[in-house]
């Protein structure tokens, strides 16, 4: 199996409403990644695109619609889609393409423009509920998150205040991200006093709808070393899907994330993740999800992840920085692009190119994780400098 | 607290004045879903004021809403069981917003309810009512409140909501 490296990354700003079309956003990110690698489209063997529901754009066959803008013209092209998990699943697909030996280089592009969907992009999610036994109850997406958060808190005796520390950290981290939408200095009191959307979810614990795109270029070992003297290697990948009967899951613990993480750790030869992973970018569309996911990733004991934020261990300068980018809570959440943003962040951090956001101490290994489908998929990638 | 959000904002006025190019999409698509064997029998049960579940004889797991195959052992080794119309709140939320982000004063109380007689942690989604929202708690015992018999349609809303027992 060929070793696969990330050789460049690029992204657009994440904003509430971009005037650019989805194609223009995808192009901007893809071109930025190619330029950063000193490559042209001629150097790319295949293209992987990731984007979430068609309903955001009101355009069917969105992968095809976005193909030209992603550099897919006249090339082997595939769109992958696992809801919110897409942004990490897309580079996993890129890895599959190159590790198989079929291709030497791959361009991976993820785009999302949520703002076209009126009156609110949440409407695009209404049809994910079971058509026979849930939709007649007129559910909205917040219900699931709020109920999962409540079950998590109740199982371990965690308070809203404990979880608020995640919002404070991530929004502050995002202040230093030039592409961020919601960087802000907020206090724990600001978070717990912000309006309740769906108890126990408060407004400052939710990531915003966003428009934006990200891209990375992947290459085989031989090619990667020619393109850059600092490739970031894909050491492990994992993905796993829980039951579609979401009410049958253990809502306090994401078992599917653990299974995906174990798959990636095994492949990367990681035995003690808490010692070996230097930077973590878990999926944080809601503040509690960062904690939920850190536990599933075996980077915190069950019910103990809040301590990481409270004690500053997950701060950018802490022992295990979590979401140094600012995460979805701070940088923004253009669904598929948000997951790939996390992989871009690891790329820049491990190359020490993260500027003001740079995590100290020469981080060697990083992990990014995304989550989605019907709140049931875990996608995990482990990357490292050597 | 927040710096101004970057991006180009749309105002209601701009919509009203036709300043925004909008395409009203109406694909004229509508759906007539078949309930299938499992949910069909479940919904028929609701019409009769009963809650049906299925038991996998291999996994020894009882679930509702019922399913005609077991996704764990991937068999059809299923027997039907009538369950009680009482249960326990596994988790809940007090939701103050509609899907379009407009606000609601009296919260909708959604809950995952584990119906008595099912295996642990096999709940389904429904609503709570006739309860002070601030008094709802995980572990609360609840009972199904059905619509009047002649109003029932064989629909999940034949259970109006659940209330504390
Ligand atoms: Zn079974």
8 Å CB contact of A182 and B1: no
Alpha helices in chain A (DSSP H): 22-37, 62-65, 86-99, 141-156, 160-174, 188-193, 221-227, 255-268, 273-276, 287-296, 305-310, 327-330, 335-350
Residues 193-222 of A with CB under 8 A from B: 195-201, 208, 211
Does a structural domain hold residue B7?
no
Q: Chain B neighbours among A 330-369 (CB < 8 Å)?
A: none
At B26 the pLDDT is 75
pLDDT, residue B2, reads: 44
Q: Which residues of chain B have a CB within 8 Å of the CB of A250?
A: 121
B22 within some domain: no
Q: Complex ipTM, two decimals?
A: 0.91
Measured between alpha carbons, how far is B140 from B117 in angstroms, rounded to an integer?
16
- A11 contacts A108 by C-beta, under 8 angstroms: no
Expressed in angstroms and rounded, the spacing between residue A249 Cα and the centre of ligand 1 is 16
Bridge-based pairing state of the strands B141-146 and B159-164: antiparallel
How many residues in total does chain A contain?
386
> Residue B30 domain-assigned?
no
Structural domain contains residue B3:
no
A241-265 pLDDT per residue, tens: 999 999 999 999 999 999 999 999 9
Per-residue pLDDT, A232: 98
Burial environment of residue B164 by CB neighbours within 10 A (0 to 12, 13 to 18, 19 or more): middle
Confidence band of B25 (pLDDT split at 50, 70, 90): confident
Domain membership flag for residue B13: no
Average pLDDT over residues B121-144: 96
- Residue B47, domain member (yes or no): yes
Regions of chain A short of the pLDDT cut 50: none
Overall domain count for chain B = 1
Q: Does the beta-carbon distance from A143 to B6 stay under 8 Å? A: no
Confidence of residue B1 (pLDDT cuts 50, 70, 90): very low
**Contact yes or no for A82/A48 (Cβ under 8 A):** no
What is the C-alpha separation between A82 and A78, in angstroms, rounded? Answer: 13
B32-90 residue pLDDT tens: 899 999 999 999 999 999 999 999 999 999 999 999 999 999 999 999 999 999 999 99
> pLDDT tens-digit profile of A134-156?
999 999 889 999 999 999 999 99
Give the confidence band of B119 by pLDDT, cuts at 50, 70, 90: very high
Instruction: Determine the structural domain holding residue B78 and report its residue range.
Output: 36-164
Q: List the single residue in A131, A198, A211 with the smallest CB-CB distance to B95.
A: A198
The reply to whether B116 falls in a domain is: yes
Instruction: Report pLDDT for A132.
Output: 93
- Residue in chain A lying closest to B121 (CA): A248
Q: Please answer yes or no on whether B93 and A18 come within 8 Å at the CB atom.
A: no
Residues 45 to 104 of B: which have CB under 8 A from any A CB? 63, 65, 71, 90-101
Q: What domains are there in chain A, each with its CATH number? A: 4-117+208-384 (3.40.47.10)
Tokens of B78: 């299923």
């Amino acid at each position: 199996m060929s070793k696969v490296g990330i050789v460049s990354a690029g992204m657009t700003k994440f904003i509430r409403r971009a005037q650019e079309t989805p194609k223009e956003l995808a192009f901007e990110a893809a071109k930025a990644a190619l330029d950063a690698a000193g490559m042209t489209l001629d150097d790319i063997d295949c293209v992987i695109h990731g984007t979430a529901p068609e309903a955001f754009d009101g355009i069917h066959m969105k992968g095809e619609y976005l193909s030209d803008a992603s550099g897919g013209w006249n090339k082997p092209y595939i769109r992958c889609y696992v809801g919110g998990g897409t942004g990490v699943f897309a580079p996993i697909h890129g890895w599959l393409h190159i590790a198989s030996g079929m291709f030497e280089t791959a361009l991976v592009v993820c785009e999302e423009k949520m703002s076209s969907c009126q009156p609110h992009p949440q409407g695009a999610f209404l049809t994910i509920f079971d058509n026979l036994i849930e939709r007649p109850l007129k559910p909205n997406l917040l219900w699931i998150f709020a109920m999962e958060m409540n079950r998590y808190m109740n199982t371990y005796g965690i308070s809203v205040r404990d979880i608020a520390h995640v919002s404070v950290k991530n929004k502050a981290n995002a202040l230093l991200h030039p592409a961020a939408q919601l960087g802000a200095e907020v206090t724990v009191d600001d978070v717990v006093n912000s309006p309740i959307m769906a108890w126990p979810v408060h407004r400052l614990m939710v990531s915003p709808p966003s428009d934006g795109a990200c891209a990375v270029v992947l290459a085989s070992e031989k090619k990667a070393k020619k393109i850059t003297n600092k490739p970031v290697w894909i050491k492990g990948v994992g993905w796993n899907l829980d039951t579609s009967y979401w009410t049958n899951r253990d809502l306090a613990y994401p078992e599917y994330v653990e299974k995906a993480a174990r798959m990636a750790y095994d492949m990367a030869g990681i035995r003690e993740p808490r010692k070996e992973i230097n930077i973590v970018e878990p999926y944080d569309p809601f503040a509690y999800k960062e904690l939920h996911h850190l536990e599933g990733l075996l980077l915190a004991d069950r019910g103990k992840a809040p301590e990481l934020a409270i004690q500053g261990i997950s701060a950018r300068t802490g022992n295990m920085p979590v979401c140094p980018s600012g995460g979805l809570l701070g940088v923004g959440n253009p669904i598929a692009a948000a997951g790939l943003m996390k992989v871009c962040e690891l790329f820049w951090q491990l190359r020490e190119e993260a500027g003001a956001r740079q995590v100290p101490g020469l981080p060697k290994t990083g992990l990014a994780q995304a989550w989605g489908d019907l709140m049931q998929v875990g996608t995990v990638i482990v990357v490292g400098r050597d | 607290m927040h710096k101004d959000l970057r991006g180009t904002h749309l105002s209601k006025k701009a919509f009203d004045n036709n300043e925004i190019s909008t395409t009203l999409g109406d694909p004229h698509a509508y759906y007539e879903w078949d309930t299938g064997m499992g949910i069909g029998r479940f919904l028929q049960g609701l019409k009769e004021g009963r809650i049906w579940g299925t038991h996998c004889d291999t996994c020894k797991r009882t679930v509702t809403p019922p399913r005609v195959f077991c996704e764990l052992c991937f068999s059809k080794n299923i027997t039907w069981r009538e369950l009680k119309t009482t249960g326990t709140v596994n988790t809940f939320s007090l939701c103050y917003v509609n899907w379009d982000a407009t606000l609601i004063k009296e919260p909708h109380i959604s809950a995952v309810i584990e119906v008595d007689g099912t295996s642990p942690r096999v709940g389904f989604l429904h609503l709570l009512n006739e309860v002070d929202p601030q008094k709802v708690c995980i572990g609360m015992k609840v009972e199904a409140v059905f619509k009047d018999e002649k109003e029932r349609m064989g629909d999940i809303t034949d259970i109006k909501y659940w209330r504390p027992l």
